[in-house]
Every structure is written in structure tokens, then in C-alpha cells.
Structure 1
Amino acid sequence: MFQILSIKGTVNFLRHAVPISILSLILVLGSLASLATKGINWGLDFTGGTVVELEFSKPVNLEVLRAELSSDEMQGVVVQNFGSSRDILIRLPVKADIKSDTQVGYVMEAGNKLDPQVIQKRVEMVGPQIGKELAEQGGLAVLVALICILIYVSFRFEWRLAMGSVVALAHDVIITLGVFSVLQLDFDLTVLAGVLTVVGYSLNDTIVVFDRIRENFLKMRKGGPEEVVNTSITQTMSRTIITTATTLVVVIALFLKGGTMIHGFATALLMGIFVGTFSSIYVASFLAIKLGINREHMLPVEIEKEGADQDPLMP
């Protein structure tokens, strides 16, 4: 009964697996090329610099403030709202020929021109060495996460499924980083947190699909690998749609209304959700099929008991 219902309602997702896999390969290669040539636009968390938060008595036009800060000493400065139109966050890059205190003085001078009642709420300085260590530790965190996931799925699934899930995770991370590289979006610690969140989200989606694939390989005794995978994806699709839709509602709200401080985090999650959803179907599952997954690989290993080959009637 289970087999008949499953096969009748199955959608042939793998019919489009080849062209989508080619598209994924192009996106991955393009992302790697951009990372190699353009690199990543590291934020002050990684490059070092100074953050100045100002509170004005009235809303401030950011373009006017940027024009006041447009000088050789302030080249590369980032000006953005911080919570409200009266609170301004200014990020100052490290300059070899100018001290950070002097940069802060230029900022206060420009702020006083627009509003004599401006208040300097905080000043934070991140040295280049600390920024470099953060960049190394951030990259190491992503690498360790992928290695731990590889170990986990290797114990939980047959190695062909484990390989498919790890390749899908690497695919999601590379494309997400590639988008930030191509668009030269600011990459700070919040974006790194978003990338690690993408890894967890994508892995969860892949494991749900793979659990159903493993179950159906044991239940659908006459179905081939592609038929079993299509049935499994169809059965889990309602769960995938509901999870993706509810997550997108929150992430889109953060992207539109969350402010500039978490804009990068929301951008990384948006990219990761879209890429991670289709990679669970067209990267992880399709790769497992190409590696030759079949029902025999899902069967538990039979352990022959000692003396089982002897005749029980023999004394």
C-alpha cells in the first residue's frame, strides 16, 4: 500500500537534475574565480579600524555627512544609520600615516558643522593584528564546522550519502561567499555568523531528505535509485516548503527592517536559504545517485554467528 501511494504521487524532480547541476557547477566556478581575483571586501572587524557612534539632536542626511568627510585623510570611511536617523555609525579604516585619534577629531569636526549639539556616544578601535586573527579564526571556524559535519554524517549515513551532503554544504558556502565577492558587500562578523547558520540550515534540510531516502530504499523493494529518491523528495517537499517559507518571512523582515548592522547577516541567510534548498535536491541527492547508491548499501551488515555453519544434528 505504501509503495503504490508513494509511486502514484511522485514528482520527477531528477528530470531537471543535469541542467541544474551544470548551473550549480558554473556558479561554483564563477564564485571561486571571483574569490581568487576580486577577493572579499573584509569589514573593519577583520581589517582593523575605528568605529565612532554619534548621536545628533535632529535627523541627519547621510549624503551631506559623507560630503563633509570626503578628504584624503578620510578615504574609505563608511557612514550609516544606527537604529534611527539621528544615530550615525562611522567606520574609519586604518591609515598608516594618520592616527585614529586624529581621524576621530575629523569626524567630530564634521559632525559639529551639521549639529553643534552632536554627542560622541562611543569610540571602538580594532587593531590590524586583531583583525587578521579574527579573519583566520573565522575561516578556521567554517573549516572545522565542515569537518565535524563530515564526521557526523559519515557515522549516520552510508558514505555515498555522506559525500553528497558534504559536497552540498561546500557548494552552499562557496556560492554565498561568491555573491559577497562579486557584489563586494561588506563581510564582517555578522556575515560570518550568517554563513555558519547557512551551513546548519542546509545540513538539516539534507538530513531530512536522506533519512527518508534510507527508509524508502528498505520499503520500496522494486523501485530503482532514481525512483526512490524522487519519492523521498516528494514526501518531504511539504515540510521543505513550510520550513523555507516561515524562515523567509523572518529573514526578509530582517533584511528590509533590521537596519544596516544586520543587513549582511540577512543577506547571507537569504542566499543560503535559496541555494541550500535546491542543493539538497539537485546536488546532494543527485551526487549520491551518480556515486552508485542502491538498496544493497542500505541493508544492515549481517554478522555470522560462530558455529552457524555446523550441522545442529552433529554431536
Structure 2
Amino acid sequence: MTEQAATEIAETGVDDKQLPHHSLLNRLYTGTGAFEVIGRRNFYYMLTAALVAISLLSIIFRGFTLGIDFEGGSQIQFPNQGNVSTTAVEDVYHQALGMDPVSVQTVGAGSSATIQIRSEALNLQQVDKLQNALFDRFHPKDSSGNPNINTISNSDVSSTWGSEITKKALIALLVFLVLVTVYIAIRYERDMAIAAITCLFFDMTVTAGIYSIVGLEVAPATVIGLLTILGFSLYDSVVVFDKVAENTRGVLHLRKRTYAEQANLAINQTLMRSINTTLIGILPVIGLMVIAVWLLGVGTLKDLALVQLVGMIVGAYSSIFFATPLLVSIKERWGPVAEHTKKVLARRESVTTGDGAPVAVQPATVMASSRANSESVGTAPKPGARPMGKRHKRKR
């Protein structure tokens, strides 16, 4: 079925049982899915509030698993050319130094796999003792295939370096938010800027909360990756806002539709684009995690890819189910949109027959003219229905 035909059916107001049903993908593709988002905004507000509350509670009481760049310490690594288990490495560490390491993990796969040991800051004597113990137990080999103690490397990281990275990232975040607020306020309007910035704070809070709940390690690359997902989420929100601005242009001079109904139509029209954008963005990130992290063992890319994957999913939710509903709520609180909404709803309630009963919309099979008049009798349009005046005329 064409988009025009689907629009006509959506505007008739007949019982859904009398209408042909189409697959979810078909309705998403044509933008006539009639998905009620604005009308169910209270549900999405409660879901959003629950996500924020859980994230904040986890951040406050559970905290984050900070990487070595933030806490400082020593990192020892050597090639894992055999089946060296992390448990065996922990035993060697404990026997050599009399304490346990912070973490031991295998990074990469195949010939590029390495064992990484993260511990508290070690002095030179402790490093030498640990390197000798590891070499005697596992005999790691160099590129020529000969056992060599020099393959066991050590690096010390100062916690001040991670603090400097975080400080600069926060400054960059503040500048980013200010510039975005000014741009949206000038390009669109103040209310859209408020909704977009609130949406960005939601994205940051929930993404950080997921890291806290799951216990994912926070590294400087995680902080940098957080800035990139904000741009992705903002882009998706602006796409919907642009359609909202187009649909609501001149809506205050009409008496058939409210601002909220036009905004819900914009969500339906851009829903498939938002889904496609998210999927296309996620696929390279997954490829980055599989190839660069699992095969090549590049830990920095893992930190960057994880925060992007989590942030893109959270951003897709917020741009569809939070940003636009929040914009509508702000608009309907005060100002001309609030007055217009009251007039439209009052007009619909006042449309009655001679005996005071509400006017019923005629089925399409009874009166063909009811298609053109269905919105004029005071009935609310279907969530995915286009305004009658914007349809293309049929060719005779």
C-alpha cells in the first residue's frame, strides 16, 4: 500500500478492525505507524525517571571501577603464547610479593594475546622479583621464539595524569553544552534548546550509571568517548526537532490539530530514520570491538568502543521517547501553544448533534466524503495521520 493510501485510511477514524493490517516494518518505513509517543509521555517520563534514579543511586553508593590512569599504580604485561591462565598468574604474583594484584586479564587472542597485570605502585625491587618469578614460571618468548625476560614489561602510571585528562574533558564538555545551547536557541527556539540539553544530561547520567552498575572500567578513553556520543544523541534529537518545527509551522492559526499531535506525527515520520541511524552507528562500533579488541588486543579501543555502544543505545531512546515529549510538555505549560491546545480540545468537546450526543465519524464504506471531513467534525486524528491539506491531489 502506498503512503497516500495509508494516510487516507488513518484519517477516516473508522474502527481498526475494519482496516487492513500491515507489518510493523511496513508502518515504520512509510511513517504511518500511528505510534502514540506523546500521548503516552507520562509512561516514558516514569521510565526515564526510573533509569535516572537507578543510575544515580549506583553512582553514589557503588561508584565506578576506575582504571589505572585515574588511580595510579603499576602495570606488568607479557605475551601469552601458551595457555597461561589468569589464576596461575595471580598465584605467582602472590607468592612473589605476598599480596594480591588489583586485576589480571587476558587481552587479545591468538599470537597477539597478552597477559596484563594491574597492581598497586611497585618499587624497583618488587618489579625485578615479580619479573623473575613470572619468567621462571611461564618462560615468555620474544619475536624470534627464544625465552627472554625482556618480554615482561612494566609501566608506572601517575594518578595525576588521569585527573588532568578528566579536567580537560569536563572543560570541553562545558564549552560543548554552551555552544549547543546557543545554536539550538538561535536555529530553532529556546524550548527546544532546554529539551535538548536536558536530554544530553539524561544520556550522560544513564551511560555513567550503566558503567557503575555493570562495573566496566573507566579510563580516559571512556571520558573522551562520552563526548562523542553526546554529539550523536544531539544529532538525532535535532533531526526530530527539525520535523517538529516543519509540522508545527502555522499550527496556532488552525483549529483541527494540537501542537502535541503534530509533534507526535513528526516522531512517526522520523522514527525509521532514527532507528537506521542508530543501527548504522552501532555496527562499526561492534566491528571495532571484535577486530581491534578481541583480535588485536588494543585496550584503549575497547574503552572507546564500549562507551560509544552504550551511549548510542541510550541516545536513541532519549531522542525518541524523551526529547520531543519534554518539548511538548514545556510548550503546553504556558504561552500561545497552551492556549491553542485548550481551544482545540474545547472545540472538539463542543461538537454535538441536535440532541446533545457526540458526532460519530461515519465509516469510509458509508460516506466517501467523510474522509475529507473526518478532522473537521471535532475528532482527534490518528497518531500517524497526515493533515488532509498536505496530501497530494489524485490525478484524474
Is 1:182 the counterpart of 2:213 in the alignment?
Answer: yes
1:176 touches 1:272 (CA, 8 Å); kept in 2? yes
| Partner residue, 1:308 | none
Return the match for 1:120 from 148, 151, 158.
Answer: 151
Counterparts of residues 56-205 of structure 1 (less than 5 Å)? 56-70=80-94, 72-82=98-108, 84=110, 87-95=113-121, 98-99=122-123, 102-103=126-127, 105-115=129-139, 117-118=147-148, 119-120=150-151, 122-205=153-236
CA distance in 1: counterparts of 2:136 and 2:188, whole angstroms: 63
Per-residue CA deviation, residues 113-152 of structure 1 (Å, 9 max, x unaligned), is: 1125254265432212223322333333333333332232
Residues 225 and 295 in structure 1, CA contact (< 8 A), matched pair in contact too? no
The reply to whether residue 244 of structure 1 matches residue 275 of structure 2 is: no
Change (3 A) 1:103 1:279: same
1:74-128, CA deviations, whole angstroms, 9 ceiling, x for partnerless residues? 4313332245455324243434xx4266236414522431125254265432212
TM-score (ref. length: structure 2): 0.66
Distance 1:111 1:234, change over 3 A: farther
The AA in structure 2 aligned to 1:278 is Y
In structure 1, stretches of 5+ residues that fail to align are 298-315
The answer for the alignment partner of 1:267 in structure 2 is 306
1:276 to 303, 315, 334: 315
**Equivalent residue, structure 2, for 1:304:** none
Query: Structure 2: which amino acid aligns with 1:151?
Result: V
Matches within 5 A, 1:247-258: 247-257=281-291, 258=293
Paired position in structure 1 for 2:377: none
Q: Tell me the equivalent position of 1:49.
A: 73
One-letter code aligned to 1:20: Y
Q: Which amino acid aligns with 2:103?
A: V
**Corresponding residue for 1:313?**
none
TM-score (norm 1): 0.81
Mind listing any 5+ residue stretches in structure 2 that lack a counterpart?
A: 12-31, 141-146, 338-396
CA 1:100–1:273 in structure 2 vs 1: closer, same or farther (change >3 Å)?
A: farther
Whether the 8 Å CA contact 2:64–2:211 is kept in 1: the answer is yes
- Match status 1:230 vs 2:264: yes
Once residues 243 and 187 of structure 2 are traced to their aligned partners in structure 1, the CA distance between those partners, rounded to angstroms, is 13
- Once the 2 structures are TM-superposed, how far is the Cα of residue 241 of structure 1 from its aligned partner? 1.8
SS at match of 1:218: coil
| Structural mapping, 1:275-314, within 5 Å | 275-292=314-331
Q: CA deviation at 1:279?
A: 0.7
Identity of aligned residues (%): 23
Give secondary structure in 2 for the equivalent of 1:69: helix
Partner Cα distance (1:75, 1:175) in 2:
30
Change (3 A) 1:54 1:167: same
With 99-108 and 36-45 compared, the bigger mean Cα shift is at: 99-108
Q: Does 2:36 match 1:12?
A: yes
Larger Rg: 2
**Letter in structure 2 aligned against 1:45:** D
